[in-house]
Amino acid sequence: MTLSHNNKDFQELDIFLRQSINDSLQNFLDENLKKHIDIFIKESFNQYVDEHRKIQRAYYTNTNAILDHLAAIKELYEKLEQTLEEVDSLKNSVENMLMEQRQKNGELQRKINCWEQSAIDFFRLLERAVDYETDERRLLINRILYGFNDLVKDFGIERIIPQENDYLHERFHEAIDEEESDIITGNIVKCISWGYRIGDKVLEKAKVVVAK
């Protein structure tokens, strides 16, 4: 009976020790696990806070940069609007100047045309006078004619005075009649009225009679 009693005590002691060991081990594991969990939570939280702070700093930095850019864009837009207004104003001024200049050019061209026609009319008057006036007066008229010719020549006006037997140049001569002659057929027999030119521009062709 004593042995049996002892075995039972040992069994109970073994169970107690096992239970104690298990409880101690479990407590140890629970405490360590809790510490690790606490450390993990703290580290994760701190990391989250740091990341959140970084995001906030980046947000503020980007926000300030965006605001700076928006301010710069607004300023640039205002300058662009001002420049466009100045360009429109300049364009209107240039258009007005061009219009005024075209009007002045048109008026000047009309005066030039009038002056050219007046010069031609005066040449015609002198030409008729040379043909019909007396010899004494013809000398005076010729002096006037040569003086006027030299004067207008400086402005580019030249007379077209074909001579007998000259070749008929349709650009400068207009044949208004034909007559029998010993010269080459189609060549000029005589000049009826002078022509006039300015450079390559023919103001009026010389009227001639050609041989047939």
Per-residue pLDDT averaged across 66-72, rounded?
79
Per-residue pLDDT averaged across 50-57, rounded?
75
Decide which of 107, 127, 155 is a domain's last residue.
155
Residue 119: domain span: 75-155
pLDDT in tens, 14-33: 677 677 777 776 777 667 77
Closest by CA position to 145, among listed 162, 159, 164: 159
Helix axes 2-132, 135-153, angle to 10 degrees: 170
Q: Please give the sequence-ordered ranges of beta strands (E in DSSP) within 96-193, or none if there are none.
A: 157-160, 173-179, 188-193
Q: Are 142 and 184 in contact (CB under 8 A)?
A: no
Give the pLDDT score at 73: 83
Give the pLDDT score at 159: 92
Decide which of 139, 155, 171 is a domain's last residue.
155
Residue 110 domain-assigned? Answer: yes
Give the pLDDT score at 4: 58
